Amino acid sequence: MTTLIKNATVVTDGVIENIDVLINEDVICYIGKEATDQQPKATHDINVVDATGCFLLPGVIDDHVHFRQPGLTQKADIATESRAAAAGGVTTYFDMPNTVPQTTSVDALMQKFDIARRESVVNYSFFFGATNDNIAQFSSLDPHIVPGIKLFMGSSTGNMLVDKKQTLDQIFATANMPIMTHCEDTAIINANMAEAKRLYGNDPDVTHHPEIRSREACVECSKVAVDMARRHGTQLHLAHISTREELNLLRPDDKNITTEAVIGHLMFNDRDYARIGTLIKVNPSIKTAEDQAELRKALADGRISVVATDHAPHLLSDKLGGAAKAASGMPSIQYSLLSMLELLDQGVISMERLVELMCHNPAKIFNVSKRGFIRKGYKADLVMVRKVEPWTVRADNVMSKCGWTPFEGHTFSWRVERTFCNGKTVFANGHIVDTNAAEAVRFRE
Ligand SMILES: [Zn+2]
């Protein structure tokens, strides 16, 4: 099938231009004026999409999600969360290994690919989780199907905590693909938690979460990761930077180190705990308004390389309690592009920079094959967005299985109008329309 997207304002490669995009099957075959002239024959078979008034962006690549399958499907699953992704303009996601079983063996990894092949609505891949004793398996990972190795460094998620100095050194020395780190120092967190419990009781109010999961815990651990990447020349991607200090750890010559900011830290700050409570309890914690402001500044000045979500749904019942008892993590993938468009309206970033942060840079960092740009010969992963009358998020908008969002009551001024995945419309006018478009992403080809 051939699809012609007419009159779109196309944003790619740092250029904004009013042009047509022609798609043949799953691939972009022409970009330019008067694309109809480029269509050789069978024009009767052409599906024309009028994109007048819309921006057409590359589909968002979210390099950090937790879709909870297998093993935690009461919270979320690949079918439901990939629908939320499509509705949010996300056409590719990389899922994290803290599922059950953990994705710390090649068998567990292949099991996830099998599920996604059947269930996923958008393109997918899966990080491999490092542990204290699975380094030998790195060499059996296919670098064409896996984005990288996820390392929970000094931070406990399940029992994937890697905190032995010697093991960390070995991981940084051995990794044959990017390492993505979650950096929070467990010893600091444990000491802070003990102190908070002494002061406030066994389950301190969530407003104490940033004192417990403190800035020092993040900064100290990120320093160790940066130091190891420098020593071993490892390609390091620092996940969910949450403090202004971490933004200043890198030097211009750290070409092998990149940084991720996530929606929670960009859109909320510690004053929001009073209003939203444990729904915005995430790890690392959401910190001060000053940290939030500096993170936003870093989007524009290049200290942040990628914007992702760390989409991590929980049941509302998991969110009961305070800083000790309530689960950490929140869903956000359906509203990540809309959030960044809000920052565009506020003058925080340009449209070109938004596309770099959400589409181009994740593709470059993980060396994704033929995605992340609107270019001839690339896969037709695209999202059409339109500026609209402000509208308010309600729980019944939410496609995530958990049925809630920290954005409930939030007003957005943009809409995702249509999402194309491999040339097929997967989402349009508020509905999922095709569930058979997804593919496993390829890397390093
Ligand atoms: Zn995460």
Q: Which of 391, 413, 311, 357 is nearest to 64 (CA)?
A: 311
Q: Residue 262 C-alpha to ligand 1 middle, in angstroms?
A: 9
* Angle value at C-alpha 268, between 264 and 270, nearest 5 degrees: 115
pTM of the model: 0.97
Let me know: does 378 contact 417? Beta carbons within 8 Å.
no
Residue 401 is predicted with a pLDDT of: 98
> How many CB atoms neighbour CB 354 within 10 A?
22
pLDDT at 36: 66
Distance 310 CA to ligand 1 centre (A): 5
Going by C-alpha positions, the residue among 305, 188, 195, 288 that lies closest to residue 245 is 288
CA 352 to centroid of ligand 1, rounded, Å: 26
Helices 106-119 & 78-87 angle (0-180, nearest 10): 60
**CA 247 to ligand 1 center in whole angstroms:** 19
End-to-end CA distance of the chain: 26
- Measured distance CA(3)–CA(29) in Å, rounded: 10
Can you tell me the distance from the alpha carbon of 263 to that of 256, in angstroms, rounded to the nearest whole number? 24
Task: Measure the CA–CA gap between 348 and 298, rounded to whole angstroms.
Answer: 10
Shortest CA distance to 441 belongs to which of 176, 140, 126? 126
pLDDT of residue 90: 99
- pLDDT means over runs of 10, the chain (445 residues): 95 97 97 72 78 98 98 98 98 98 97 98 98 93 98 68 83 96 94 98 98 98 96 98 98 96 98 98 98 98 98 98 98 98 98 99 98 98 98 97 98 98 98 98 97
CA of 181 to the centre of ligand 1 (A): 9
- Burial of residue 44 (CB within 10 Å: 0-12, 13-18, 19+) is exposed
CB 238 within 8 A of CB 246: yes
Q: How far is ligand 1, taken at its centre, from the CA of residue 398, in Å?
A: 20
Q: How far is the CA of 128 from the centre of ligand 1 (A)?
A: 13
Q: Clarify whether 205 is annotated catalytic.
A: no
Alpha helices in 62-214, H assignment, sequence order = 78-87, 106-119, 165-174, 186-200, 209-212
Q: For position 422, what pLDDT does the model report?
A: 98
Q: Which residue has the tokens 């996940």?
A: 239
Residue 428's Cβ-count burial label (10 Å; 0-12, 13-18, 19+) is middle
**417 CA distance to ligand 1 centroid (A)?**
28
Q: Is 126 in a helix, a strand, or coil? A: strand
- Distance of CA 351 from the midpoint of ligand 1 (Å): 26
The set of residues, in sequence order, having a beta carbon less than 8 Å from that of 190 and lying 6+ positions away, is none
Largest Cα–Cα distance of the chain, in whole Å? 76
Q: Which residues pair with 4 in a beta bridge?
A: 22, 48
Please report the pLDDT score of residue 161 as a whole number. 73
DSSP one-letter code for 103: S
Q: How far does residue 96's CA lie from ligand 1's centre (Å)?
A: 7
Contact 130, 160 (CB under 8 A): yes
Element of type H or E holding 362: helix 361-365
- Among residues 199, 179, 187, 193, the alpha carbon closest in space to that of 155 is found at 187
Question: Per the residue annotation, which of 310, 318, 345, 381 is the catalytic one?
Answer: 310
User: Rounded distance, CA 279 to CA 330, Å?
Assistant: 7
Question: Whole-angstrom Cα distance, residue 261 to residue 97?
Answer: 19
Distance CA 228, CA 172 (A): 7
Closest CA to 92 of 354, 357, 438: 438
SS3 state at 248: coil
Among residues 62, 141, 81, 72, which one has the least CA distance to residue 101? 72
Q: Would you say 418 and 49 are in contact if contact means Cβ atoms under 8 Å apart?
A: yes
Determine if residue 147 is left, alpha or beta; phi over 0 gives left, psi from -120 to 50 gives alpha, anything else beta.
alpha
Distance CA 258, CA 445 (A): 21
User: Which sign does the torsion angle of CA 242, 346, 400, 309 carry?
Assistant: negative
